Chain A
Amino acid sequence: MGHASGVILPKLDGVPVEYRLSAEDPRAIKLAQTLTTLGLAEPSAWEDAKHSSTGYVRAALKRWLASHGGEQVRENFSLNATISSSPDLYSGDDGRRELLYLMVDPDSAGYVILGPTLEMLEIIHPRLPASFYHILVGAIQLWVRVYDVRDAQYRVEMLREWVEGENDPERYEFPDVEGCIPQSMKLKPLSLKHVRQLAVGINDQLSRQLVHAALDLNKISRRLRRPEISEETREALMDSNPPLPALLISFKRHDAVLACYDDESQAFLEASPEPNLIVEIDPTDHAGVRRAFDTLAVLCETMAAASRLAALLPGNNQEG
């Protein structure tokens, strides 16, 4: 039988093996209080969130998204809404210590092909395709970044500038963006008023639905203007890349716009991208919190309307 060494292990009886703390950020507590007072958070979620202010705020955000078309948005877009203590999710740099930041960003870009729709609308009026395109892109672009033919043109222009100094710039080939643009897109768009008048008299059911859906989208997207951000937050995002596109629009499957997107997308995350939407929240400012949530609601409803429109687009869901 061995001898005892005389060394003993300290007793851990009675020492808690786990500490759980939901007071991790006083700003989350203040926001939870404001959301409860405003009726934006559901008290019944408090127990489900295990009395954690962060979990409770998350539940309120999820509920808000669901009640503003979140499910419909998910059918065509992959967007995330986040409330963070930093304006830069990638670097995690601190912003203003008293603020929280409501941000929306995509995981990946939705994709729509507009060529067949434009051909269909051209039959109704030669300038309707360009009008439809500008209404659609203009409305969505108010809230999230859209990558479309203009980005592709800019990309090719930049690539050409890069090779200008080379000895034999002719050996480089670039996507033919100009060649992929339908002729109807080169005409001047009609005024919104003219499109509205035109929409009433369209006989073809799908064309009428499409034009009405675009007008509806335009109306929803302009319900609110996105709030301005402070100079400090702007400075924190100064070295960021442009926002990640939430939607890619091309005219045909595998056209030059898509080729430019594929090429450019490889550098999207070389630096932290700017958020698609960023709203500063002072958690104690009830009107400000309400405005932030209303802003998010308009973004959601805009993207839900875009999703409904995307579902109508002919040729959009064909494989290949």
Chain B
Amino acid sequence: MRKITRKSKITREAVLAELALMAEGRHPECQNIMGRFVRCPQFQQACKILADAIQVEAHRYGAKREEVPAPPGWLLPV
């Protein structure tokens, strides 16, 4: 039986065009939240500040974490 192989018809120009979009951060994948996070130092810095703040608060309250009020409509912290 003859084996049928599927050969992609994508051209070199098409690959280069898509890579150029990626390099400029304009590829659709770069627009999602993770893409923006990876490309944006300010976003990364803001997340770090937020994560550090949560960490500090968690240490400060220790066993009394229930004192941190949960946002309305959310489950209380366990």
A residues with CB within 8 A of B:
7-10, 16, 19-24, 26, 29-30, 32-33, 36-37, 41, 43-48, 51, 53, 56
B32 adjacent to A33 (CB under 8 Å):
no
> How near does chain B come to A10, taking the closest CB pair, in angstroms?
6
Residue of A nearest to B76 (CB): A7
- CB neighbours of A20 from chain B (8 A): 29
Complex contact B10–A43 (CB within 8 A)? yes
Alpha-carbon gap, A43 to B7, bound state (A) = 10
Contact B7 A44 (CB under 8 A): yes
Instruction: Report the bound CA distance from A29 to B11 in whole Å.
Output: 17
Chain B residue contacts of A32, Cβ below 8 A: 19
A22 CB contacts on chain B under 8 angstroms: 22, 29
Q: What are 9 A-B pairs at a CB distance below 8 A?
A: A7-B76, A8-B73, A9-B75, A10-B73, A21-B30, A22-B22, A23-B25, A33-B16, A36-B15
Residues of A within 8 A of B11 (CB): 43
Stretch at the interface among B34-42, B47-55, B60-68: B34-42
Q: Which 7 A-B pairs have the closest CB atoms?
A: A19-B34, A44-B8, A43-B15, A46-B15, A43-B12, A33-B19, A47-B8
Q: Which of B16, B19, B29 has the most CB of A within 10 A?
A: B19
Chain B interface mostly: helix
- Chain B residues contacting A10 (CB-CB under 8 Å) are 73-74
Min C-beta distance of A148 to chain B, whole Å: 45
Q: Roughly how many angstroms separate A41 CA and B23 CA in the complex, as a whole number?
A: 17
B57 to chain A, nearest CB (A): 20
- Check B22 against A53 for contact (C-beta < 8 Å): yes
> Complex formed: what's the CA distance from A1 to B34 in Å?
44
Contact of A51 among B18, B38, B74 (CB under 8 A): B18
A37 CB contacts on chain B under 8 angstroms = 16
Q: Which of B10, B15, B18, B29 contacts A21 (CB 8 A)?
A: B29
In the docked arrangement, what's the CA distance between A22 and B32, Å? Answer: 12
B38 / chain A contacts, CB cutoff of 8 Å = 21, 23-24
The complex places the Cα of A33 from the Cα of B22 at a distance, in Å, of 10
| Complex CA–CA separation, A29 to B18 (angstroms) | 10
The complex places the Cα of A21 from the Cα of B37 at a distance, in Å, of 11
Question: Does B14 count as interface, using CB distance less than 8 angstroms?
Answer: yes
CA distance A51 to B18 in the complex (A): 8
